[in-house]
Amino acid sequence: MSSSSTATLPQFLSSAEQPLRFEQVIHAIGQTTKLLVLCSESATRDSKLASIEDSVEVRRGTEIRRVTLAQLLSECLPKHCAPEAIDCRKLAGLNRHMALRRVQARNSDPTALHEFLIRRSRRDSLVGCLTTSVDGLEARGDQILEEKTLMLYGDNRELICCRPGCVGLDGDRAAAVDEQLIRGASAEMGDQEQLGLQCDSCRRKWVKTAVAKRAHGERTLLLRPAVQLELSVDAQEGQMRQDALSMARRSQLLLILEQPLKERTLSDLAQALADEVHQQSGAVLYISRERLRTRGAYNYIDLQLDLNSQELVNLVNAAEEMQGQPQDPAGPDMFCDAADLWLEILRNEVPIMQSLEAIHIQGQYCHFCNCSISEYLIGCQNCDATYCHRRFSYDESPDAVFDDKGTILPQDLPGDDVIAMTDFDATPAAKDDFPMEEACVILDYYSPDGRRPRLSDAKKRFLCPECWQAKAGGLYPHFVRPLPRLHLELEGAPTPKLAVVIYYVEQFWPHATHLASMLTGRWTTKSWKCSVVSIKLEHLSEKRDLLSDLQVFLRPLRRRQDH
C-alpha cells in the first residue's frame, strides 16, 4: 500500500504474495456463522447459460440484426420507450429470448456457489443473499433460501404488464407460457397486437372500464419480463432496501462476489450495507480477480481476495472440512465471539505507516505561521527573521476616539501613513481585504501609555524577540502570539529521516500498532520523513522484501550517501 496509485484502494490479498494471511482469512470465512452475500450474474451463472451481455438476433421487418440482450431489454423498458409506442415485434423478440433463458436456467446444473448457499441456509449461518442476477439460480426452488434471497435487478421468472399494480405471472404460471412466447416471436408479420401475450387479470379490469375513462391503450397489457437491469425503486428506497439493511444488521461478514460497483445506486447500497455490518464489528470482503477501481471503495471494503467465487467456495469448503463444522450460534456469547474473530483478522496485520517531509516554502514567510503574503510581512532589522503583523494600528489609550458604533478607529492605514483620521471613511485604502486580526505580531501593543507610533515608524525600528536587548530597552513592546509550529530544521542541513522495521508476535498486534502509530505521529508533528514497516514473526517464511517496501523512502538517502 505504499504506492500512491493504490493508496485509496482496499488491500489486495493474494495467496501467492501473502499465503499465511490469505489462509487465515479463508478459515475465518468458514468459521463465520452470520453471513450476508452480494453476488452478480457472473458469479451465479454456469457454463450452459449465456451472459446477458452476449449478442442475440432480433427481427426488424425482413431484416435480422444482432444486439446484446441487455441492450434489447433496455430499449424495451417503459422509461426508455412508452408502452403504447413500443414495437410489438421487438417486445416479442425480447420475450422469446428471455423465455429461452428461463428454460435454460431451469435445466442448468447446480453450481458450487448454489450448493454452498443451500448448505449455509439450512445450517442457519446464511442471513441473506442479495443478487443482481435475474435468473433465480441462487435458490433453485429451495424454499428456505428463496425467502432469504432479494433480487435487486428484477426476476426473469416473473411476467408483468405495464399497468399499475399488476400482479403478473410468476413461477409455474410464467413457465407455462414459455413455449407460446418462443413461438410467438417466430410468427410471420401480421397483426402487431397479436405478437404478444396480454395479462388476463389486468385485461378484465381494462375491459370493464368505459372507453372514455381508459387512460391507457391495449398495448400496456402486453406481458414482459419483470427485469430492469438496475436497482428497482423498491431496492433504492422501498421495502426491499429496508429488508437488505435488516439483514446487514444481523450479519458479521458481507461477501461481495464478483459484483462490479460502477453503478452509483448499487455502490451506495453496498456502502450502506457495509456500514451496518461494521457497526456489528464485522467485515466486508470483495472477491474478484479483477482489481477493484471504484472510487471510495477503500472507505467500506476491508479486503479484496484475488480469486473468483468458484475458487472461494472450494477453499472455504476445504477449510470447513479441516476444522470441522462450525457450531450453531447458541446465544449472544457466540455472536460476540464471531465479532471478535473479524476484529482480530482485520487488525492483526499492521500496515506500513509513513509520514512525509514538510515542503519548505520558497521566499519570505512568517517564521511562526508560514504566512507568505508579502504585504503582511515585517522583517527584523537585525536578522533575517520575518513575521506577519497587523497592518492597522489602534489607539487603545483611555482617551482614544470612538466612532458612532462604539468601536475604535484605526490610527493609521495600510500603504498610506499621512491620511488624516477624519478622512478614514472616505478613503478606499482603509478597506483591507485581509485585516490579519490573528497576526503573529502586533506592533507596540505594550507601549507604556497605550499610544503607538505610526506604522511606518514602528516597522523601521522593529526587532524580533531574539534580537531585543531587554537590559537596554526594557520589556518587549510588541505582542507576539504563541508559536503554533515548531521549526526543528537546521538551516543549511538536511532534515532527519527514520526507517523502522518492527517484528511482532501476532497476539501482540495492538502493541505493534500503537508503537508504529506513536513513531509516525511523533515524526509527523516535526515534519520529518518516517516509514515504519511491521513484520509478523509467524509470516517470516514468506520472505517479504523489505527493500521494495522502503524503496521510495530510501532512494534519497542512497543518493545523498553517493555524493
On whether residue 389 sits in a domain, the answer given is yes
Same domain, 83 and 116: yes
| Structure confidence at residue 85 (pLDDT) | 78
Number of domains in the chain: 4
Same domain, 391 and 476: yes
Q: Which of 103-117, 352-366, 477-491 has the highest mean pLDDT?
A: 103-117
- Reply yes or no on whether the pLDDT at 563 is more than 70: no
CA-CA-CA-CA dihedral for 128, 133, 136, 137, to nearest 10: -90
Residue 254 sits at φ, ψ, to 5 deg, of: -110, 115
**215 or 316, greater pLDDT:** 316
User: Coil, helix or strand for 368?
Assistant: coil
Whose grid coordinates read 438476433?
Answer: 57
| Range of the structural domain that residue 203 is part of | 44-227
What average pLDDT does this structure show over 450-459?
Answer: 77
Same domain, 72 and 206: yes
On whether residue 178 sits in a domain, the answer given is yes
Grid cell in block for residue 114: 448454489
Same domain, 412 and 479: yes
Pick from 294, 315, 347: which residue ends a domain? Answer: 347
- % the chain with pLDDT above 70: 77
Lowest-confidence range among 1-15, 84-98, 127-141?
A: 1-15
Burial label, 394 (beta-carbon count in 10 A; 0-12, 13-18, 19+)? middle
What average pLDDT does this structure show over 78-91?
Answer: 81
Same domain, 455 and 536: no
| Structure confidence at residue 314 (pLDDT) | 92
- The partner residues of 500 in beta bridges, in order of sequence, read 532
On whether residue 240 sits in a domain, the answer given is no
Same domain, 16 and 161: no
- Reply yes or no on whether the pLDDT at 224 is more than 80: yes
On whether residue 316 sits in a domain, the answer given is yes
CB 128 within 8 A of CB 36: yes
Q: Read off the pLDDT of residues 307-330 as tens digits, 9 standing for 90 and up.
A: 998 899 999 999 988 876 544 443
Q: Read off the pLDDT of residues 108-127 as tens digits, 9 standing for 90 and up.
A: 888 888 889 999 998 999 99
557 residue type, one letter: L
Lowest-confidence range among 126-140, 195-209, 276-290?
A: 195-209
Kindly report whether the global pTM for this prediction surpasses the value 0.75: no
- Reply yes or no on whether the pLDDT at 92 is more than 80: yes
| Structure confidence at residue 562 (pLDDT) | 43
Pick from 347, 380, 396: which residue ends a domain? Answer: 347
- Reply yes or no on whether the pLDDT at 550 is more than 80: no
Same domain, 163 and 293: no
What average pLDDT does this structure show over 117-140?
Answer: 89
- Interatomic CA distance for residues 59 and 57, integer angstroms: 7
On whether residue 444 sits in a domain, the answer given is yes
Same domain, 206 and 296: no
On whether residue 237 sits in a domain, the answer given is no
Same domain, 501 and 367: no
On whether residue 516 sits in a domain, the answer given is yes
Compute the Cα dihedral for 176, 146, 161, 159 and give only its sign.
Answer: negative
Same domain, 183 and 101: yes
- Reply yes or no on whether the pLDDT at 286 is more than 60: yes
pLDDT classification of 106: cutoffs 50, 70, 90: confident
Compute the Cα dihedral for 112, 114, 118, 120 and give only its sign.
Answer: positive
**231 or 356, greater pLDDT:** 231
Q: Beta-strand (E) ranges in 228-273?
A: 253-257
Burial label, 271 (beta-carbon count in 10 A; 0-12, 13-18, 19+)? middle
Same domain, 128 and 222: yes
Give, as one character, the DSSP assignment of residue 134. Answer: S
What average pLDDT does this structure show over 148-176?
Answer: 87
| Structure confidence at residue 228 (pLDDT) | 86
- Reply yes or no on whether the pLDDT at 413 is more than 60: no
What average pLDDT does this structure show over 491-508?
Answer: 81
Q: At 224, which helix (H) or strand (E)?
A: strand 224-227
On whether residue 259 sits in a domain, the answer given is yes
| Structure confidence at residue 361 (pLDDT) | 63
**Any residues with CB less than 8 A from the CB of 168 and at least 6 apart, and which?**
158, 159, 160, 161, 174, 199, 223, 226
Pick from 227, 243, 271: which residue ends a domain? Answer: 227
- CA-based radius of gyration for the chain: 36
**176 or 188, greater pLDDT:** 176
Q: Read off the pLDDT of residues 291-307 as tens digits, 9 standing for 90 and up.
A: 888 777 888 999 999 99
Tell how far CA 46 is from the center of its chain: 31
Q: Read off the pLDDT of residues 21-76 as tens digits, 9 standing for 90 and up.
A: 899 899 999 999 899 999 988 766 665 788 888 888 877 666 778 888 888 888 88
Mean pLDDT in the chain?
79
Same domain, 286 and 137: no
pLDDT classification of 416: cutoffs 50, 70, 90: very low
What average pLDDT does this structure show over 514-526?
Answer: 87
User: Coil, helix or strand for 355?
Assistant: strand
Angle among Cα 251, 257, 259 to the nearest 5 degrees reads 115
CB 114 within 8 A of CB 44: yes
- Reply yes or no on whether the pLDDT at 338 is more than 60: no
